[in-house]
Amino acid sequence: MEKSSYFLFGGTNFNKKKFAPDFAKFKNSTEDDDSNKKVNFFVEEEEDTEQPEAEKVVVSSKKRKRRSSNSVPVEGFDVFKSSKKARAKGKAEEQITKNEIVENPKKELNRQMERDALSRKQYSIHVSGNNIPPPLKSFAELSSRYGCEGYILRNLAELGFKEPTPIQRQAIPILLSGRECFACAPTGSGKTFAFICPMLIKLKRPSTDGIRAVILSPARELAAQTAREGKKLIKGSNFHIRLMTKPLVKTADFSKLWCDVLISTPMRLKRAIKAKKIDLSKVEYLVLDESDKLFEQSLLKQIDCVVKACSNPSIIRSLFSATLPDSVEELARSIMHDAVRVIIGRKNTASETVKQKLVFAGSEEGKLLALRQSFAESLNPPVLIFVQSKERAKELYDELKCENIRAGVIHSDLPPGERENAVDQFRAGEKWVLIATDVIARGMDFKGINCVINYDFPDSASAYIHRIGRSGRAGRSGEAITFYTEQDVPFLRNIANTMMSSGCEVPSWIMSLKKKKWRKHRPRRDSISTKPKADKNDTDE
Ligand SMILES: Nc1ncnc2c1ncn2[C@@H]1O[C@H](COP(=O)(O)OP(=O)(O)OP(=O)(O)O)[C@@H](O)[C@H]1O
């Protein structure tokens, strides 16, 4: 594999060679699925599968369009939506404009606006706000237009990033021009670098003057991952990016600690603020990653505390997520100044690179049976399984831990070290299957995940989008299977809508179900455990 693509897609890498004897057991039907396949920057359109006549399906208009046209390879992420033809056309138009003598500045301004609009259309970028800077044409523009230091461009190149993703094209110039922004872009489309890159460029040089940027993430694992990604970008500079850990909250003297960028969960940062251990008054940049989650009722107080502590009047705040409910937009508008709104593609839709399927499992017994059967037929690791609670995660783990599928588990009852271990072992390919609660449903970048299984139906449409978005990242294809029982049927339609808008087929009977307003759908479910009660109690703790 080329060095560049190794760096880019070297996340979860299932080592078939190392685990050959075990894997042989599952080999038959996985052979064709190239789980180790290199990521292709030239993503082919999804192959159409023949539809059984008996099963009438509703096909979204987007999919119909795709079906009627010949499959054309699309360069870059699927979300780029940029064909070579469109790029060539753009270049030709640019040339014509350059050749014209600019006599009238107003005319030139109009032309520039037209060019920006074209470029936005090409990448499905939708913006609202005043005086929005043009999208980036390339990473090289970071240095020609914004005086970006060489180390950032070198690091981007080393990561194998050839061109900015659509969210990076638009969010980076907005933040570099000193504007606040709230952005919604699909899962796995590069939002992390869209906020870290401009932050580092604007901070210019490292300083011992205190914390100048804060990134908030709703979960520890995500905060750790963001810190790791950030560190890749500061290689060769003297910047210090720190992750707020428990020991740091307890013992560190932040006035003596060199820290340019601090990455934390809201809870840990609030603790440090309340203990008067940290001064955030010089913070110039505040990023709320997974902002809709951070604005949930349970986290609001902590967020409020952090936002207040970041008291610098010229602070630039930005919000990023793959889902942006209207209520969060409203909240964002009320706290931000002259913010620009950026949406890539359509708001609140699932990644189009994930093939989604709904499976009726009947009962809890049926789910376990279906899972075992699908593993026996073809296990194409890495596989991520989501359940609705930590109790159910433990139960499912107890059922699967002795089987030859190398299962791991992660939930909020585990101590931090064990949570970290679970993620690391899964990334390293030592665990093939990871059973998880929603603690890792957002933001986690396990690049090679072939399949996400919603063992328990997700509690909301946004949970569905984030869960299945752990697969099909950075232009890769993936699969998502959602089990449902009678209890979940009233909520099927909501998921079906999300499936349709990302180009998946849905049986017509589901589309004719009534839409139901859902808050949190977490029904009481029968136990997963097949063991007698006495045994179960022994193993649960
Ligand atoms: N310009 C780029 N070119 C190619 N790959 C990129 C580029 N920018 C980021 N990536 C890669 O894309 C993957 C997904 O990026 P990232 O984790 O930032 O997605 P995200 O949009 O934040 O997803 P989520 O909504 O799930 O949090 C990462 O592996 C990252 O390294």
pLDDT, position 257: 87
- Do 266 and 386 have their domain in common? no
In this predicted structure, the answer to whether residue 122 has a pLDDT above a threshold of 90 is: yes
Minimum-distance ligand 1 atom for the alpha carbon of 466: 26
**To test the ligand 1 pocket, which listed residue (79, 142, 473, 502) has its Cβ within 8 A of the most ligand atoms?**
473
pTM for this entry: 0.81
> Is 438 within the bounds of a domain?
yes
pLDDT, position 415: 93
Name which residue leads in pLDDT, 175 or 75. 175
Q: Name the domain boundary from 326, 344, 362.
A: 344
Helix/strand/coil percent split, the chain, to 5: 45, 15, 45
- Do 304 and 428 have their domain in common? no
Task: Determine if ligand 1 sits within 6 Å of the CB of residue 198.
Answer: no
- Do 332 and 465 have their domain in common? no
**Predicted confidence (pLDDT) per residue in 485-501, tens digit:** 999 998 999 899 899 98
Mean pLDDT score, 161-187: 97
> How far is Cα 85 from Cα 88, in angstroms, rounded to an integer?
5
Phi and psi torsions of 478, nearest 5°: -155, 180
- Do 160 and 271 have their domain in common? yes
Report the DSSP pairing between strands 213-216 and 74-75: unpaired
Task: Determine if ligand 1 sits within 6 Å of the CB of residue 271.
Answer: no
**Predicted confidence (pLDDT) per residue in 379-413, tens digit:** 889 999 999 999 999 999 999 998 888 999 999 99
**Predicted confidence (pLDDT) per residue in 280-337, tens digit:** 999 999 999 999 999 998 999 999 999 999 999 999 999 999 999 999 889 888 888 8
Q: Distance from the CA of 356 to the center of ligand 1, in angstroms?
A: 21
Q: Can you give the residue range of the structural domain that contains 171?
A: 111-344
In this predicted structure, the answer to whether residue 464 has a pLDDT above a threshold of 80 is: yes
Q: Name the domain boundary from 344, 374, 396.
A: 344
**To test the ligand 1 pocket, which listed residue (5, 8, 229, 291) has its Cβ within 8 A of the most ligand atoms?**
8
Residue nearest ligand 1's atom 3 by CA:
161
Name which residue leads in pLDDT, 70 or 538. 538
> How far is Cα 217 from Cα 264, in angstroms, rounded to an integer?
6
Name which residue leads in pLDDT, 102 or 246. 246
pLDDT, position 414: 96
- Do 335 and 392 have their domain in common? no
pLDDT, position 20: 54
pLDDT, position 530: 81
Count of beta carbons in the 10 Å neighbourhood of residue 86 = 17
In this predicted structure, the answer to whether residue 369 has a pLDDT above a threshold of 70 is: yes
**Interface pTM, i.e. ipTM:** 0.99
